[in-house]
Amino acid sequence: MIFCAAFFVFTVAASAQSGQKFFTRDGKVKFDATAASSPEKIEALSNSATCVLDAANGNFQWAVLIKGFQFEKSLMQEHFNENYLESGKYPKATFIGKITNLGEVNLAKDGTYNGIVSGQMTIHGVTKEVTANGALTVGGGNVKVNAGFSLQLADYNVSIPSLVSDKVAKEAKILVDATLVPKQ
């Protein structure tokens, strides 16, 4: 019996470390471009980002639909879609990269690890190399991902008219929060 249990634990751990993929379609992505002088928050949230993490090689992919971002103010949402990110032309933002310090992250063992992720971010039709740090928390068979990073809107050809430059920051803060479950 003990042998069976040990064998089970061993095989689960081994499979988690080798071919296991983790996945979610409920990732939260928060976008915040509130300028320091702005009286109102320029922020939006999507609850439907997809994310896939391959435990075998650390490959890490994200995708979020621009039209899924909800703002508190309808007018902001309209400008975000039509003028700034042109979501009719560029409906998706993606990140394709990998965890570069996979040796320090044990996805088969419960705990919180600092993950360094590096790869290509595509927003508004422009692709840039980015690196970000985040927390990977392994527990209950799932992997929780929490990360925050900033990006320059100008890098992605998003220009902010001078009329609203006191409200909209040049740098947007992005926060991601997702619980990835083992993919069947």
Full 3-state SS string of 7-47:
HHHHHHHHHHHCCCEEEEEEEEEEEEEECCCCCCCCEEEEE
Question: Is residue 87 at the binding interface for another protein, with CB under 8 A as the rule?
Answer: yes
Structural contact between residues 96 and 61, judged by C-beta atoms closer than 8 angstroms: yes
Question: Is residue 35 at the binding interface for another protein, with CB under 8 A as the rule?
Answer: no
> Cα(147)–Cα(133) distance, rounded to whole angstroms?
6
Closest separation in Å from C-beta 83 to another protein:
14
Question: Is residue 63 at the binding interface for another protein, with CB under 8 A as the rule?
Answer: yes
Question: Is residue 68 at the binding interface for another protein, with CB under 8 A as the rule?
Answer: yes
Q: Which is nearer to another protein, 15 or 70 (CB)?
A: 70
Q: CA nearest 115: which of 126, 103, 127?
A: 103
Name the CA radius of gyration of the chain, rounded: 19
135, 153, 30, 55: CA torsion to nearest 10 = -40
The size of the chain, in residues, is: 184
Q: Looking at this protein, which amino acid is placed at residue 102? A: L
Closest separation in Å from C-beta 128 to another protein:
20
- In the list 18, 57, 83, 88, the residue contacting another protein (rule: CB under 8 A) is 88
Q: Which is nearer to another protein, 105 or 143 (CB)?
A: 143
Judged by CB under 8 A, the chain residues 91 through 110 that form the site for another protein are: 91-92
How many residues contact another protein, by CB under 8 A? 24
- In the list 17, 34, 38, 48, the residue contacting another protein (rule: CB under 8 A) is 48
Question: Is residue 146 at the binding interface for another protein, with CB under 8 A as the rule?
Answer: no
Instruction: Report how far apart the first and last C-alpha atoms of the chain are (Å, whole number).
Output: 27
H and E: helices and strands count for the chain: 2, 9
Question: Is residue 116 at the binding interface for another protein, with CB under 8 A as the rule?
Answer: no
Q: Which residues bind another protein (CB under 8 A)?
A: 25-26, 28, 47-50, 63-68, 70, 73-75, 77, 81, 87-88, 91-92, 179
